[in-house]
């Protein structure tokens, strides 16, 4: 396998399993997929953070708010690898509970990854909630 195929295998297994765990209240697997070496940035759909400690604090809070996921799907739009850097552009389609209330949403996400000691780690995430157009307007 080449670098791109290895990266996509990791993304479709390890990374996606960590996302499912987060939506079921467990941030531990997500911690394992994120770098602990600055720079690390998060422009989240709901909360932003800078630096490994700030990012972990956000993930702990999200894990406390999420529970009972019923659906989790990722639509990969684009991905590539160049040396020790990679990126993905994807949609995350999720049905879960947020603070006990059922919630369905789609996030549009761009992530940047860095290979550290042979393992892929997320170093930047930008996500926003996809809005649908009504009557042709924004």
- Domain 3-129, what fold? Nuclear Transport Factor 2; Chain: A, (3.10.450)
Residue spans per domain, the chain: 3-129
pTM over 0.75: yes
Position 134 scores a pLDDT of 55
Write the DSSP string, the chain.
Answer: --HHHHHHHHIIIIIHHHHHHHTTT--HHHHHHB-SSS--EEE-SS-EEEHHHHHHHHHHHHHHHEEEEEEEEEEEEEEEEETTEEEEEEEEEEEEEETTEEEEEEEEEEEEEEEETTEEEEEEEEEEE----BTTB-
pLDDT in tens, 38-51: 999 999 998 999 99
pLDDT (tens place) for every residue of the chain, 138 residues total: 799 999 999 999 999 999 999 999 999 999 999 999 999 999 999 899 999 999 999 999 999 999 999 999 999 999 999 999 999 999 999 999 999 999 999 999 999 999 999 999 999 999 999 976 555 545
């Amino acid at each position: 396998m080449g670098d791109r195929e290895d990266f996509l295998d990791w993304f479709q297994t390890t990374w996606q399993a960590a996302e499912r765990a987060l939506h079921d209240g467990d941030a531990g697997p997500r911690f394992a997929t994120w770098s602990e070496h600055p720079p690390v940035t998060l422009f989240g759909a709901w909360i932003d953070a800078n630096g490994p400690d700030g990012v972990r604090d956000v993930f702990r809070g999200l894990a406390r708010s999420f529970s009972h996921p019923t659906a989790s799907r990722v639509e990969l739009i684009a991905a590539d690898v160049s040396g020790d850097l990679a990126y993905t552009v994807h949609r995350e389609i999720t049905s879960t509970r947020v603070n006990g209330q059922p919630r369905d949403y789609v996030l549009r996400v761009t992530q940047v990854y860095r290979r550290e000691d042979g393992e892929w780690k997320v170093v930047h995430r930008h996500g926003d909630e996809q809005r649908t157009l009504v009557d042709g307007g924004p």
